[in-house]
Chains A and B, each alone.
Chain A
Amino acid sequence: MITIENVSRRGFLQGVFSAGAFVLCARIIPQPLWADATSAGSPIDLAALHPNIFVGIHADGTGFIDSHRAEMGNGVRTSLPRILADELDADWNRVKVIQADGDERYGSQDTDGSHSVRDYFDSLREAGATARLMLVRAAAQQWGVPESQCVADPIHTVSDRNSNRKLEYGELASLAAKLPVPKKEELQLKSPDSWRYIGKPSTGFDAADICTGKPLFGMDVRVDNMLYAAIAHPPVLGGKVKSCDDKAALQVIGVKKTIAIDPFKPPHAFQPLGGVAVIADNTFAAFKGRKKLKIEWENANNSSYTSSEYKKELLATAHKPAKVVRNIGDVDAEFGKGGNIIEASYFAPHLAHASMEPPVAVADVRADKVTVWAPTQNPVGVQEEVAKALGIKKEDVTCHMTFLGGGFGRKSKPDYAVEAAVLSKKTGRPVKVVWSREDDIKFDYYHSVAGMYIKASVDEKGKPKAWLQRSAFPPIGSSFTANTVYGDDGEMAMGWSALPFEVPNFRAENGEAQAHIRIGWLRSVANIYHAFAVQSFANELAHAANRDSLDYLLELIGSPRTVDVGKTDDDEETVKKYPYDIGRLRHVTELAAEKAGWGKKQSGKGYGMGIAVHRSFYTYVATVVEVEVDDKGTISIPQVHTALDAGIVVNPEMVRQQFEGAAVFGTSIARTGEITATKGVVDQSNFNDYQIARMNDAPRKTDIHIVESSAPPAGVGEPGVPPFAPALCNAIFAATGKRVRELPLTRNGFA
């Protein structure tokens, strides 16, 4: 039941969107899975007061606020609406959060790169302040008093300062709606000391629905007349179906038919991988039918890819001069002086996202309209890719964003939604494509494998005078432009092209590497391997200098100053807004160490403490890991302390959750995280051979220390991940004297 309605009947908020062209477009009204939209429109559209796309206030006083980004455990359905509610002085108990559809008018909805709060903090405050000002003006008009005499206080109410007259927001909404939407210059934002919600902990808006098993996720979508599909994908990237015998598959109870899906045209980008789909009337029948397909594949060049061989190549590349991405001073001259040289190589393998909810999507392709329900981080991407695949306009594709059972970057890539659309078109019915865990692990957009080499020349005190670092990894760009072999500015800026240490001569290089499986971004991306190498190497230098690793690290970080970050993929304004402040880096390092009681307990004999610090997504994070290692090499992690400075924090409770989770995510990376391939086929398949940290592997206790700050808000979903693995490996070195230069730990005799 899709209706078109002019949402902008009262005009849009100026200043929230750069493009004024939004002002008269129509909005496709969704029937969200869990919201109470009617065929007449979403509650925001229908609200008595509706000054902009994000908020509506009904006559009964209920405030409806859009959450336009993807909820995947990052807490945006709580944090984003609370920013707006704060400026609106709305009663959080009278707010209902509405999940937005894919719609370009929101600005970017692509929920990755830890952008949500940092990119929308200002806009959402303006959106809330706009509604508040209109309500205040409505009250002033009603009472015939000057606007300055009216105040939005107590909560959800406008009061007359000179009398005890009060009007609730609901009572004012219709009147306010008749007023012109104020301009940005007229808005007065609240001062931070009067914030009600920003900076105050709140439990997730949806916690109760989650804990009672409500249908929230993409996996839970059911629409009338829906068919189910499982797809046999080519085991090797770029492979094609040579022949397919589906006789046995068609015998399976519930299987309806099989449909071939075309192979992609390179570069694969977000296109489906191709293969053969089994269409059935339930998920199990589709899975079972797929197992019975007898397919002969014609494999492409990528069948030469064997990761153990590739690893040697990457490490060899890392040892050869490569493309310079940053140069300060002259490392070669310094190396030529014949000082004390220390060097090391590091290696980190491919990883899979393995969100608990595998990729899944439902599509309903009709003659004139397509509707997709998907757990997606990138709803506009779904619209675009589905439109491209079906040869229609993207405006004719509606994408309802469901909750995501984890995303971690995987669900920014809409290939699975395109599969559903292609199959719905071919069957003439809604189709739900369900990926099994095996599909998820074997056909991911993998986190890149990386080989790294670092060389330093140190003075008699062990302090580096020259530092050369070189990394080689098949870049994400290879998924979008065939034969891309170098990392882009964004990947290189992730912990590589700037060194936060006081070293006079520095050079960062990037060696070429060809991709043979799909490469994509995974929670904190290139920061993972770069931080692993840099923070491990710093620890090696401390050891070589016979110094306490914390003292040495602090000395390396040096005195408070601003570091020039070099090239990045962010615009100039952003880079200026978030200078690389070594004082803040230093502070989190000291704070984490202090909270952990650094140096109070002697390391060695199977017990160790390790530290690592890293800045990513403009957030400064230091992690101290305590580890116990028994004679068999079994490790346990009794305690983690993480200190972070993310600027202004909207919801400290969720920030804690994100960083606690990052420690567990980091544990999975460090202990067991490894995807390998043999002749182009990924070796792992499920949680038995791609192991995720379980409760008994995970840190027993992780304490999060948030630095109070008035700096602009930075990212929180990802930055907890990068320092974890090096901190753990440094702790293992302290405990055992064994240096881990290759992840995961299972490759080093630890378990």
Chain B
Amino acid sequence: MVHFKVNGVERSFDGDPEMPLLWYLRDILGLTGTKFGCGMALCGACTVHEKGSAIRSCTKQMSTMAGADITTIEAISGQGPTAVQKVWIETSVPQCGYCQPGQIMQAVSLLHSKPSPTDDDIDAAMSGNICRCGTYQRIRAAIKEAAKVTA
């Protein structure tokens, strides 16, 4: 039995220790905002925060969850959309939208660690997040705008 927190709520798990956090969130807790894209840490669709930094939930096994403190897209928007989400909407970033929760989680984490990221910082932080619809240019613009708003 491992104990951890998801979106501020204490949780425990004693199922298959190999189960990735992604499927625990989606299938067990019903938090479907975190998406499945590849299952191999290649696309970023499953990005959540552990203690504020972005991690790929598809390769984080439940056996390693003891003491973890996880935040998902549902909770960063818990008290109304964050500045990043607002800018994302105003910039019309989403197309199909499937990758966007992951993109937003990654961007929020980037802005935590680098409040005024350069283009290179943005490339470095965001290139692990694939968007098949090709929204990258708007993601970049939205991150820069969010940096201004939150500065």
Residues of A within 8 A of B (CB): 71-75, 203-204, 206-208, 210-217, 219-220, 222, 228, 252-254, 282-285, 287-288, 354-358, 403-408, 434, 436-437, 653-654, 657-658, 660-665, 667, 686-688, 692-696, 698-702
- Asked if B72 is at the interface of the complex by the 8 Å CB criterion, the answer is yes
- CB of B89 within 8 A of CB of A207, answer yes
A664 touches which one: B38, B100, B129, B134 (CB < 8 A)?
B134
Interface centre among B18, B96, B135 (most CB of A within 10 A): B96
- CB of B32 within 8 A of CB of A282, answer no
Nearest Cβ on chain A to B23's Cβ, whole angstroms: 4
- Interface mask (B19-39 → A, CB under 8 Å = 1, otherwise 0): 110010011101011111111
- Asked if B118 is at the interface of the complex by the 8 Å CB criterion, the answer is no
- CB of B137 within 8 A of CB of A660, answer yes
- CB of A254 within 8 A of CB of B15, answer yes
- CB of B127 within 8 A of CB of A694, answer yes
- Interface mask (B99-118 → A, CB under 8 Å = 1, otherwise 0): 11100100000000000000
Nearest Cβ on chain B to A337's Cβ, whole angstroms: 47
B136 touches which one: A222, A283, A437, A698 (CB < 8 A)?
A698
Q: Considering the chains assembled together, what is the distance between the CA atoms of A36 and B36 in angstroms? A: 26
Q: Considering the chains assembled together, what is the distance between the CA atoms of A212 and B73 in angstroms? A: 6
In the bound complex, residues from chain B placing their C-beta under 8 Å from that of A252 are 16
- CB of A210 within 8 A of CB of B94, answer yes
A695 touches which one: B37, B88, B100, B127 (CB < 8 A)?
B127
- CB of A73 within 8 A of CB of B96, answer yes
Q: Considering the chains assembled together, what is the distance between the CA atoms of A316 and B101 in angstroms? A: 48
Known contacts A282-B27, A687-B38; decide if A288 and B18 are in contact (CB<8 Å).
yes
Known contacts A213-B33, A356-B131, A696-B123; decide if A702 and B137 are in contact (CB<8 Å).
yes
- Asked if B66 is at the interface of the complex by the 8 Å CB criterion, the answer is no
Q: Considering the chains assembled together, what is the distance between the CA atoms of A702 and B130 in angstroms? A: 18
In the bound complex, residues from chain B placing their C-beta under 8 Å from that of A355 are 96, 98, 132
- CB of B43 within 8 A of CB of A356, answer yes
Nearest Cβ on chain B to A690's Cβ, whole angstroms: 10
Q: Considering the chains assembled together, what is the distance between the CA atoms of A136 and B88 in angstroms? A: 39
- CB of B134 within 8 A of CB of A206, answer no
Residue of B nearest to A435 (CB): B36
Q: Considering the chains assembled together, what is the distance between the CA atoms of A211 and B122 in angstroms? A: 19
- Asked if B42 is at the interface of the complex by the 8 Å CB criterion, the answer is yes
Interface secondary structure of A, over-half rule:
loop
In the bound complex, residues from chain A placing their C-beta under 8 Å from that of B135 are 657, 660-661
- CB of B28 within 8 A of CB of A282, answer yes
B26 touches which one: A207, A283, A407, A699 (CB < 8 A)?
A283
A663 touches which one: B97, B126, B128, B134 (CB < 8 A)?
B134
Residue of B nearest to A667 (CB): B134
In the bound complex, residues from chain A placing their C-beta under 8 Å from that of B136 are 664, 694-695, 698
- CB of B99 within 8 A of CB of A356, answer yes
Q: Considering the chains assembled together, what is the distance between the CA atoms of A56 and B92 in angstroms? A: 28
Nearest Cβ on chain A to B95's Cβ, whole angstroms: 3
Nearest Cβ on chain B to A657's Cβ, whole angstroms: 6
- CB of B96 within 8 A of CB of A356, answer yes
- CB of A204 within 8 A of CB of B94, answer yes
- Asked if B10 is at the interface of the complex by the 8 Å CB criterion, the answer is no
- CB of B95 within 8 A of CB of A285, answer no
Q: Considering the chains assembled together, what is the distance between the CA atoms of A236 and B123 in angstroms? A: 39
Q: Considering the chains assembled together, what is the distance between the CA atoms of A669 and B3 in angstroms? A: 45
- Asked if B140 is at the interface of the complex by the 8 Å CB criterion, the answer is yes
Q: Considering the chains assembled together, what is the distance between the CA atoms of A437 and B73 in angstroms? A: 22
In the bound complex, residues from chain A placing their C-beta under 8 Å from that of B90 are 203
In the bound complex, residues from chain B placing their C-beta under 8 Å from that of A701 are 137
- CB of B33 within 8 A of CB of A214, answer yes
Residue of B nearest to A698 (CB): B136
Residue of B nearest to A441 (CB): B38
Residue of B nearest to A353 (CB): B132
- Asked if B51 is at the interface of the complex by the 8 Å CB criterion, the answer is no
Nearest Cβ on chain A to B132's Cβ, whole angstroms: 5
Q: Considering the chains assembled together, what is the distance between the CA atoms of A698 and B90 in angstroms? A: 22
- CB of A406 within 8 A of CB of B140, answer no
- CB of B16 within 8 A of CB of A284, answer yes
- Interface residues in B59-94 by Cβ distance below 8 A to A read 72-74, 77, 81, 85, 88-90, 92-94
